[in-house]
Chains A and B, each alone.
Chain A
Amino acid sequence: MSIINYASREIQFKIVYYGPALCGKTTNLNYIHQRITPQNRGDLISLATAADRTLFFDFLPLNAVVIKGFVTKFQLYTVPGQVIYNATRQLVLRSVDGVVFVADSQWEKMEENVESFKNLADNLAQQNMPIDEVPCVLQYNKRDLPNIAPINYMEYVLNNGKRRLQSFEVISSTGQNVFASLNAVSQVLLHKFSKQDDVPSPAPPPVAISIESPLGQPHSAPV
């Protein structure tokens, strides 16, 4: 849960990158770490095995000034995607404010995507956080690979809850739409804490912001 500290004029948010094994969660954090202005970020901490598989979590603290008079600290975590590490995922999800679900677009990974998304919902439910109430965006990652499922299929299998989630076509290895998805989940979080009367409600989430679209200019894909 976020903490608002009026003494230090800080707000803290926790964002977790969730998804199946090898879907690109750590790659997202690596790209953000490389590309964000150094004074706005801390060190990227990776608790990984010798083979660079996430064992516990990756952690990247970011700072931004988006609410007047407050430094907003975003703490980005990844979870280990491998099925056996569910207890670890539950620990990392504790007190989460927002989720970026990273799905692997390859056909053979679709079952793992669905299983991981269900696992996310189950683990959030254990914290009394219904997934439909947690700020969340979807990434359809690895769109540069040849054997990928079409976006409308991915929307059909993953974005079929009561609440339509904002979704992004992503190539995390080159950074395409990595910041767009981070900004999207950040905006949803921030609007929860701003004066509701002064801020127009965010536009309804578009369907799958494509790689070709300029940032902030989403278009709708057929569903």
Chain B
Amino acid sequence: MSPIPVLTIEDVAALDGVLEDFLRKTEADLTVVIDRGGNVISQFGDMDVTDVTVVAALAAGSFAATRELARRIGELEFNALYHQGNGTHIFMNSVDEDTIMTTVFGRGTTVGLVRFYSAAAAQRLAEILKSLRHKTPTLNLAPVSSAPVFVDR
């Protein structure tokens, strides 16, 4: 399956619609859709909870690392992972072979509720992502300057 190079405003709105509905039903704080390389595809919720970019990188790594563990017991991979904290928790579930959904939640809800609604949300996300992958991306970016991108202070 190929990755998604370009997300239009409409694509993001469709994904956000699923995530918004998921958060409303579960009362979780934040949910992030990431690819397995650690890139953020879409996010919804309280962005002050954490640095989404870092969570995406670590979640992708965590999911990948447990894949080998799953193989040892005859599974292709674990479909879902749950990291329990004292007050805040993370639930991750597979959307499709290229994508993971990561949800951060606290005392306002339960892992059972998050797990229950995440299955339906993942299915809807997978359908949207599948349709996006069949679109031909159109790029219309401004030209790039040859100046250094990063400056050493």
Write out the residue numbers on chain B whose beta carbons fall within 8 Å of the beta carbon of A163. Answer: none
B149 touches A35 (CB 8 A): no
User: Could you say which of B33-41, B82-90, B106-114 contacts chain A?
Assistant: B33-41
Q: Which residues of A contact B (CB under 8 A)?
A: 1-8, 11-12, 14, 32, 35-37, 40, 42-43, 45, 47, 56-57, 59, 61-62, 64, 66-70, 72-75, 77, 87-88, 91-92, 94-96, 175, 178-179, 182-183, 186-187, 190-191, 193-195, 198-199, 202, 215-216
- With contacts defined as CB atoms under 8 Å apart, how many contacts are there between chain A and chain B in the complex? 147
Interface size on B (CB < 8 Å)?
42
Task: Tell me, in angstroms, the Cα distance from A57 to B54 when the chains sit together.
Answer: 12
Is the CB of B144 closer than 8 A to any CB of chain A?
yes
B139 to chain A, nearest CB (A): 6
Listed residue (A62, A75, A186, A215) with the most chain B CB atoms within 10 angstroms of its CB = A75
B119-153 contacts to A (CB < 8 Å): 137, 139-146, 148-153
Q: What 7 A-B pairs have minimum CB-CB distances, sorted nearest first? A: A95-B37, A7-B12, A68-B142, A1-B3, A198-B143, A186-B149, A194-B144
A186 touches B150 (CB 8 A): yes
B54 touches A194 (CB 8 A): no
Is the CB of B53 closer than 8 A to any CB of chain A?
yes
A42 touches B3 (CB 8 A): no
Task: Tell me, in angstroms, the Cα distance from A88 to B66 when the chains sit together.
Answer: 11
Across the interface, B39 reaches (CB within 8 A) one of A47, A75, A191, namely A75
User: Could you say which of B23-31, B57-65, B72-80 contacts chain A?
Assistant: B57-65
Besides A12-B40, A35-B153, 12 new A-B residue pairs in contact (Cβ under 8 A), listed by A number: A3-B5, A6-B7, A36-B150, A36-B152, A40-B150, A45-B54, A91-B64, A91-B65, A95-B35, A190-B149, A193-B139, A194-B143
Task: Tell me, in angstroms, the Cα distance from A75 to B35 when the chains sit together.
Answer: 13
A56 touches B153 (CB 8 A): no
Residue of A nearest to B12 (CB): A7
A175 touches B152 (CB 8 A): yes
Write out the residue numbers on chain A whose beta carbons fall within 8 Å of the beta carbon of B41. Answer: 3, 5
B68 touches A87 (CB 8 A): yes
B30 to chain A, nearest CB (A): 15
